[in-house]
């Protein structure tokens, strides 16, 4: 499956858990209910984004029989109703792809690929951060892209690219307090994750 499918599932989960419906309130205090909601969000995301067919029976198997097909389908109905069927908005990865189309035309494909990889990694970092839950997906994506270009393109291309993004979204992304805060948050978490990985590797050696 695509990595983006997990990000979409987490988006559904975060949005549902932020509602005040009884099922979401129960899931906030009941691990078993939370697990059912999380699995069901994955089930919905796979149905919408993946070419494969994943039935409720497969989710039951993933839960090792902890939940019945009826409970999974009931949970799905609650989630869809609570989200008001708003499931197909642009994803952070799609925002990144749109923004990278604004790069100067002479930007080589290797740099474009590196920027896409680095920006997507930042988005995945945001998935693990509860502080990013209320942020718009466009805010996270713009912050990720701006972080990824820091040392990857020349200053003149960087200035032109940021101007193109600002003109497209309708505000100066470099002067936005929200973008600045999000960029700092993602940078700090990325650095901590990188440090933790190095420590684990060092301990293993």
- Over residues 85-129, the pLDDT tens digits come to 988 877 788 889 889 999 988 888 888 899 998 998 888 888 888
Domains 3-82 and 92-204 share a fold: yes
Q: Is 53 left (phi over 0), alpha (psi -120 to 50) or beta?
A: beta
For the chain, give every domain's residue range. Answer: 3-82, 92-204
- Separation of alpha carbons 59 and 66, rounded Å: 10
Q: How many CB atoms lie within 10 A of CB 21?
A: 14
Contact by Cβ (8 Å): 23, 78: yes
Is residue 190 pLDDT above 70, yes or no? yes
- Please tell me the pTM assigned to this model: 0.67
CATH number of the domain located at residue range(s) 92-204 in this protein:
1.10.472.10
Contact by Cβ (8 Å): 33, 67: no
Report the SS3 class of residue 106: coil
Q: What is the mean pLDDT of the chain?
A: 86
Report the SS3 class of residue 86: coil
Written as one string, the DSSP assignment of 171-186 is S-TTT-HHHHHHHHHH
Written as one string, the DSSP assignment of 2-29 is -HHHHHHHHHHHHHHHTS-SHHHHHHTT
Cα-based angle 183, 121, 159 (whole degrees, multiple of 5): 50
pLDDT at position 104 is 86
Is residue 166 pLDDT above 90, yes or no? yes
pLDDT at position 79 is 93
pLDDT at position 153 is 83
Domain spanning 3-82, CATH architecture: Orthogonal Bundle (1.10)
- Separation of alpha carbons 147 and 122, rounded Å: 8
Is residue 197 pLDDT above 60, yes or no? no
**pLDDT band, residue 180 (cuts 50/70/90):** very high
Residue 19 CB burial class (10 angstroms; 0-12, 13-18, ≥19): middle
pLDDT at position 135 is 85
Percent of the chain with pLDDT over 90: 33
pLDDT digits (tens, 9 = 90+) for 56-92: 888 788 888 888 888 889 999 999 999 889 888 777 8
pLDDT digits (tens, 9 = 90+) for 33-56: 999 999 999 989 988 888 877 778
């Amino acid at each position: 499956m695509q990595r983006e499918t997990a990000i979409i599932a987490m988006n559904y989960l975060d949005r549902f858990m932020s509602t005040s419906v009884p099922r979401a309130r129960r899931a906030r205090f009941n691990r078993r209910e939370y697990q059912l909601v999380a699995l069901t969000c994955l089930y919905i995301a796979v149905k919408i984004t993946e070419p494969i067919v994943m039935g409720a029976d497969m989710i039951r198997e993933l839960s090792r029989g902890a939940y019945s097909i009826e409970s999974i389908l009931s949970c799905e109905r609650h989630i869809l109703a609570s989200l008001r069927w708003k499931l197909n908005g642009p994803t952070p990865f799609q925002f990144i792809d749109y923004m990278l189309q604004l790069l100067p035309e002479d930007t080589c494909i290797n740099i474009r690929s590196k920027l896409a990889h680095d920006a997507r990694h930042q988005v995945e970092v945001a998935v693990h951060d509860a502080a990013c839950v209320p942020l718009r997906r466009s805010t996270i994506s713009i912050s990720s892209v701006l972080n990824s270009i820091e040392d990857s393109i020349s200053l003149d291309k960087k200035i032109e690219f940021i101007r193109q993004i600002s003109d497209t979204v309708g505000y100066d992304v470099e002067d936005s307090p929200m973008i600045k805060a999000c960029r700092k948050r993602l940078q700090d978490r990325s650095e901590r994750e990188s440090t933790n990985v190095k420590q684990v590797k060092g301990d293993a050696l």
